[in-house]
Amino acid sequence: MYSVIECGGFQHKVTVGETLKLPKMDAKVGDVVTVSNVLLFADGSTIQVGAPLVSGAAVTLEVLNQGKADKVISFKRKQRKRYRRTVGHRQLFTEVLVTGIASGSAKADVDEKAKIRARARITALEARKVQQPKVTRAQKIAAAQAK
């Protein structure tokens, strides 16, 4: 069972137990969010395509994390004109876990084992982040000079 939802101007194919990063949402960690902008709902045998939305369908999401993506550098330059501009940007995101998909006629399909696996994956990633010490730029330069 899967569904295609529209969130933040983007379309996402989601299945129960999957984690994904969506554009920033106004929700706290642990909140449950229901998205009713379902464009397509597919059960094992039937497919419902909305015009533009599937009526009554909803996807339940649990907020796992709020964060910033990696920095993207934008660099502009003009040849022989002494013009250079560098701009950095970090996009805000909300990491969510898909806990249920409901069509207009059926109850939400909640897969408890998938939720447990996804939460274990997230805690393992957080544990790896904690174990790695933060290295400053000065330490990197000193290490490079020592080589």
> Residue ranges of the chain with pLDDT lower than 70?
104-115, 128-132
Reported as type and span, the H/E element at residue 13 is: strand 10-15
pLDDT of 97 reads 92
Q: pTM of the full predicted structure?
A: 0.69
Burial state string for 48-85 with b = 16 or more CB within 10 A and e = fewer than 16: bebeeebeebbbbbbbbeeeeeeeeeeeeeeeeeeeee
Q: How far are the Cα atoms of 37, 68, 74, 95, 98 from residue 9, in angstroms, in the given order? A: 11, 18, 23, 16, 18
The answer to whether the peptide bond before residue 23 is cis (omega within 30 degrees of 0) is no
How far apart (Å, rounded) are the C-alpha atoms in residues 12 and 46? 19
**Which residues have a Cβ under 8 Å from the Cβ of 117 and sit 6 or more positions away?**
17
Contact 62, 97 (CB under 8 A): yes
In this predicted structure, what is the pLDDT of residue 50? 86
CA-to-CA distance for 102 and 60, rounded, in angstroms? 8
| Ranges of each domain in the chain | 2-146
